[in-house]
């Protein structure tokens, strides 16, 4: 996991957020973290998942708009 703070999640690209989320899940699955570390990882993972969702929703909106514009032509 990077040393990034939750506040900087909004600056991540989809690929960066997805890749870090994969790392967070792997660390949680290992089960070696303390409870406090696990909670921090979970919170980071939730923020990363929300960021990925934002990117995907935005991409879908752009595709829908492009399709609508193409149908109007």
pLDDT confidence tier of residue 5, bands split at 50, 70 and 90: low
* pLDDT tens figures, 13-63: 999 999 999 999 999 999 999 999 999 999 999 999 999 999 999 999 999
Q: What is the pTM of this model?
A: 0.83
**What is the spatial distance between Cα 72 and Cα 66, in angstroms, rounded to a whole number?**
10
* CATH numbers and ranges of domains, the chain: 12-72 (1.10.287)
**What is the spatial distance between Cα 3 and Cα 73, in angstroms, rounded to a whole number?**
48
**What is the spatial distance between Cα 16 and Cα 21, in angstroms, rounded to a whole number?**
8
**What is the spatial distance between Cα 52 and Cα 7, in angstroms, rounded to a whole number?**
15
The token pair at 33 is 């973290």
């Amino acid at each position: 996991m990077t040393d990034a703070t939750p506040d900087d999640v909004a600056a991540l690209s989809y690929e960066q957020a997805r890749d870090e989320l994969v790392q967070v899940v792997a660390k949680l699955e290992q089960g070696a973290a303390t409870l406090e570390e696990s909670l921090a990882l979970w919170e980071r993972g939730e923020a990363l998942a929300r960021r990925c969702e934002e990117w995907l929703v935005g991409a879908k909106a752009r595709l829908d708009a492009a399709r609508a514009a193409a149908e109007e032509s």
